[in-house]
Amino acid sequence: MTTIPLERKLAWVGLNLLPSLTPRRRELLLARCESPEEAWLALEHGPLFDLFGDAARQIWEERRRADPHKELKRAENEGARILILEEQDYPEPLREIPDPPPILYVLGQWREEDRVAVGMVGTRRCTSYGRLVAKKLAQELAEQGVTVVSGLAPGIDTAAHEGALLAGRTIAVLGTGLGKPYPAGSEKLMRRIAEQGAVISEFPWDMEGAPWTFPRRNRLIAGLSLLVVVVEAPERSGALITADYALEQGKEVLAVPGPITSEASVGTNRLLREGAKPVTSVDDILEELGRLPLGKARPRPEPRLAPPAAQVYELLALEPLSIEEIVERTGLSHAQASQILVELVLSGLAEELPGRRFVRKPR
C-alpha cells in the first residue's frame, strides 16, 4: 500500500475548503502547478488575477482563513476519514467516472462487496405507495447481497436506506458536508447507515447544501451504482438528474410505473416511454444485474416490532388466524388488530390467505 505524504493530503483538503475555487478554477490552477502542494502554496502568496480574474481576491482571502489541519482533526474526532483519490481505500467505482472528486469524507466504510450496488432515488414528496415500494425493493435487494445507494433526502431516499438497513448494506451520498446533513435531524439515520455501510460526501465538513450541491452529488450516486432505479419522480426532479448521470456513465436506468393521475410519477412514466426498463418486482432489477457475482445472500434479521405488533407476529408463526382469533388471543381491539395486520402485510412480514386469514410470510 502506497503511503500518501501528509503534505499532499493537507494540500488537497485545503484546496477543497475554498468555496470560490470551483472545479473549473481548480483545474486551471493544477494545470499551472506541478502538484497539489505547489498549488496550495501558490495561493498563499497573493491573488492570482491572471488566472481567476475578479474571483482572485476572494479565493486568496478564503485561502488565508482555511485550516486543513483542523479539518482533518475534526473528521477524525467525529469518527470519519478523509480520503484523496490516490489512496487505496478510495472507492474504486468513483475513480472511473468523469470528474471524480479528489476528496471524499467517509463515515463508515466502503467495501469491495459494495461494487455490487444499485442506486435507488426518487422525489422528496413521495406518495405512500412510492415509500412502500422503495422500502420493499431496497430490503429485497439487500437480502440478495446488493448494496443500496441513495441520497439521504426525505421521501424515497430515506425509505430506500431504511429498507436496506433491515437486511444488509446501504450507502448515503450527501449534498452537504457530513457535519450539516440534510434534512436537519437525520444524524441518527446517518449513524445507522455508517454502521452497516457508509455515508459519503465530497464537501467540507461544515458545508451546508446549496442549489448546485445536490445535483452535483447525484453523479456520485450513479457512479457508485451498477444501475439506477427511479421509484417516483415528478416532471422536474433531482432523481432524473441522477438518471441522466447514469446514462452518461453507460449504465441502465430502471423506473417504477406509477398512476397516470399522480404528479409524483410523471417523470418515471416519461423514463419508461423513453426506454427505461419497468420495475414490477425485485426480480426485474436482479435480472438486469445479470450474471454479476452478487455474493452470499444475507439472512434477513428478525424484525424489530413494538410489543403489540410483535405479539401478533409471533402468533402468526403457529397457524393461519382470522382477525377475530387474534383479538381473542391478544386482547387487542378489532381496530388495533386490523391496523397491525395491514402494517405487517405491507412490510412483507405477513400475508393474507383466502377467507381473511393471516399467516407469517416465509423468510
Neighbours of 32 (CB within 10 A): 12
- The SS3 assignment for 147 reads strand
Give dist(CA 73, CA 60) in Å, integer.
23
Give dist(CA 349, CA 344) in Å, integer.
5
The residues with which 321 forms a beta bridge, in sequence order, are 358
State the pLDDT at residue 15: 96
State the pLDDT at residue 138: 96
Q: Are 322 and 350 in contact (CB under 8 A)?
A: no
Residue 353 phi, psi (nearest 5): -100, 165
Q: How far apart are the first and last CA of the chain?
A: 42
Cell reading at 12: 488537497
State the pLDDT at residue 299: 45
State the pLDDT at residue 362: 60
- Chain region(s) in the chain for CATH 1.10.10.10: 307-360
Task: Tell me how far apart the 2 most distant CA atoms of the chain are, in Å.
Answer: 82
Q: Domain 107-289: which topology?
A: Rossmann fold (3.40.50)
- Chain region(s) in the chain for CATH 3.40.50.450: 107-289
3-state helix vs strand vs coil in the chain, percent to 5: 45, 15, 40
The closest of 205, 218, 105 to 153, measured between CA atoms, is: 218
- The SS3 assignment for 291 reads coil
Q: Are 116 and 295 in contact (CB under 8 A)?
A: yes
pTM recorded for the entire structure:
0.79
Contacts of residue 238, defined as CB under 8 A and 6 or more positions apart, other chains included, come to 121, 151, 153, 214, 215, 218
Q: Which CATH number fits domain 307-360: 3.90.1150.10, 1.10.10.10, 1.10.560.10, 1.10.8.60?
A: 1.10.10.10
Q: Is 185 exposed, middle or buried (0-12, 13-18, 19+ CB in 10 A)?
A: exposed
Residues of the chain with pLDDT under 50: 1, 291-292, 295-300
Give dist(CA 194, CA 210) in Å, integer.
24
The closest of 18, 16, 202 to 105, measured between CA atoms, is: 202
Cell reading at 292: 454479476
Each residue of 218-240: b (16+ CB within 10 Å) or e? bbbbbbbbbbbbbbbbbeebbbb
The residues with which 117 forms a beta bridge, in sequence order, are 147
